[in-house]
Amino acid sequence: MVLRMIISEKWIHINSYDVCFDYNVKSVIILKQKIIVQLEIGDLYAVDMAGNIIEKNNKPFQRSDLDKDFIVEINQNNLYFNNSAIYFEHNIYSFVLFDDRIIVQLNELDASVKSDEIDNVYAVDMEGNIIWRIQNKERVCPEYKFISPYVMINYIDGELIVNDFNGFRFVFSPDDGTFVKRIQSLRPW
């Protein structure tokens, strides 16, 4: 299973589908067959992998109710796994979920405030260990002179495609976060 998701204030983007809500998204829990979205007001929605709302519930739930199907919970700047958690300094904006790891992109608006967070893409294994941070593109691509955080990650045909704030696109290895190549820019300059 490969799942790509963007979490914004009042919507989530699952693979190619958008799901909008009336209130801000507080957390997202990924299960084997569905996604639980908790809004800041406490409402819970079950969404299938095609972006359809299949259930609404406004009563609290227990994590133990989800244990057999639970994969990971994303709550602003935290990732929760079955037996561990990992905290990031900035909120998680998007991620690509694999069977053995999750690649997260931290919010570029938060990340751009601190220069050491320009390389704002990480891979975390299912035990909650950071296994890599994306390689710094300025060090391996000397002709690239623009320092900017990443704004989008995609997984296409086995490649991790990463776009930066300046519209440049790069390919990195999803296995270890190393730079592979620069590809056609989204902007004409």
Overall fold of domain 99-189: Thrombin, subunit H (2.40.10)
The residues of the chain that CATH labels 2.40.10.480 are 99-189
At the top level of CATH, the class of 1-75 is mainly beta
Structure tokens at 26: 């507080």
Distance of CA 22 to the CA centre of its chain: 22
Query: What mean pLDDT is reported for the chain?
Result: 83
- Residue 113 scores a pLDDT above 60: no
C-beta neighbour count of 85 within 10 angstroms: 11
Structure tokens at 168: 């440049």
The span from the CA of 170 to the CA of 159, in Å, is 10
Distance of CA 70 to the CA centre of its chain: 17
Residue 178, CA distances (Å) to 5, 57, 129, 133 in order:
22, 42, 18, 9
Structure tokens at 151: 């704004």
- Residue 47 scores a pLDDT above 90: yes
Greater model confidence, 147 or 40 = 40
List, for residues 159-169, the tens digit of each pLDDT value: 899 988 878 88
List, for residues 52-65, the tens digit of each pLDDT value: 999 888 666 555 55
Identify the three-state secondary structure at position 119: coil
The pTM assigned to this predicted structure is 0.81
Return the amino acid letter for 47.
V
